[in-house]
Amino acid sequence: MPELPAAEKAAHRTVKYEYPSEHMGEACGDCKHVIEKGSSPRCETVANPIFLTGWCVRYARKEKKK
The domain defined by 1-59 carries CATH number 1.10.287: no
Each domain of the chain, given as residue ranges in start order, spans 1-59
Percent of the chain past pLDDT 70, that is, above it, reads: 98
Half-sphere exposure of 14 (CA within 13 A, CB side): 8
> Which pLDDT score is estimated for 49?
96
Tell me how many helices (H) and strands (E) the chain has: 0, 2
pLDDT of res. 51: 96
Q: Which residues pair with 46 in a beta bridge?
A: 10
Confidence check: pLDDT of 12 > 80: yes
pTM above 0.85, yes or no: yes
Work out whether the CA dihedral 22, 29, 33, 66 comes out positive or negative.
Answer: negative
What is the three-class DSSP state of 6?
A: helix
Q: Could you read off the pLDDT of 14-33 as tens digits, one per residue?
A: 999 999 999 999 999 999 99
